[in-house]
Amino acid sequence: MSVEARTVRPFVGIESFATVLDDVVVHFGNETCNANSSISLDLEPHEYQRRSVVVQWAPDEESFHSFKDALLEAADSMRVDRETLLLYVTASTPYLKRTEIVEHLSLAKLEQLDHKQLLTDGRRADSFRAGHHGCSLNAYVLLNENLDPAPLRPWRKGTWLAHARFGLATQIAKSMFRPTPLDDAKRNELGLYGKTVRYFHMGDHDPLVSYDDQPEKPVLYVDENLLAELSANASHPSSISTQLQLALDFMAAVIHDASRREELGTVSIEDLADSLLGRVLRVAAGPRDSDRERLLALVRSDPGKAVARAEHTVDIQKRMLQTLHGDGS
């Protein structure tokens, strides 16, 4: 039996909002993401954290005026006060599973809206700092207050009338740390014990050659119940420290696997650029080639210390201490 998930919108009278956000684009530095699509960013984490983020509401100034007119006409067609509708943009990262508001403006104040809105002016949202994980942005037109209930009419505060999504994925996020649920059936298949919480399966993947050119990818299996709890309490310090530890486990497994391969003695940082080990070195050592060279030497001679360097970079200490102190902030 196949199962397909669909968004059900049993409303009438909001047809004018259906395509109003279709021409919105997001600029991440010099990269552009169209509405309801995703782009892949091959950036170092420190580069990701410096890129400006801009939402462009329309292709040019003339169409920008048309965009604002379309919003107001759609609001009027619903026969609602423009003050009750918001143009709203959120940012979130799959790692933190936390949503931040990065722009909001009442349709009654559209004259204050810029054609291109800088979202990184002032405090930078945490989602724009997550260089290892990427982020997604969502633009909405939504209700800012409850209306009088009526059949087939949106009336609850927070209900969206228009929506566009933008995905900004990093190359590191595509290969680094994507836990797969581990259930009893998978434990039996892999020959694991019943209380195994995590298991790293490299299979035939070679961490020293191009990641994308290999059909089999490494998998970090994590107990399905643990993953569900981490998702349900994603912003709690204990959840964050556990996720950091799982990410560190992944990197440690890659480092130890690579350290046992004879070819490691003859490859350079340049040879490893597109490999899984190369991506781990980028995360654990930072942007400078000299630091990666030193870390690669540690992988060859003392993989335990290489893992310790990764732990230093991931910086799990603060979250562990917060958990032990019972700090839920």
Nearest to 219 by CA among 194, 195, 189, 260: 189
* CA gap 39, 33 in Å, rounded: 6
* CA gap 27, 117 in Å, rounded: 10
* CA gap 113, 293 in Å, rounded: 48
* CA gap 159, 155 in Å, rounded: 7
Q: Provide the pLDDT confidence category of residue 1 given band limits of 50, 70 and 90.
A: very low
For 240-279, what is each residue's pLDDT tens digit? Answer: 788 888 888 999 999 999 999 999 999 999 999 889 999 8
For 269-328, what is each residue's pLDDT tens digit? Answer: 999 988 999 988 988 886 677 888 999 999 999 999 999 998 887 777 877 887 787 665
**pTM for the full predicted model:** 0.61
* CA gap 103, 320 in Å, rounded: 33
Nearest to 150 by CA among 15, 8, 14: 14
User: How many degrees, rounded to 5, is the angle at CA 249 between CA 40 and CA 231?
Assistant: 65
Quote the tokens at residue 35.
């509405």
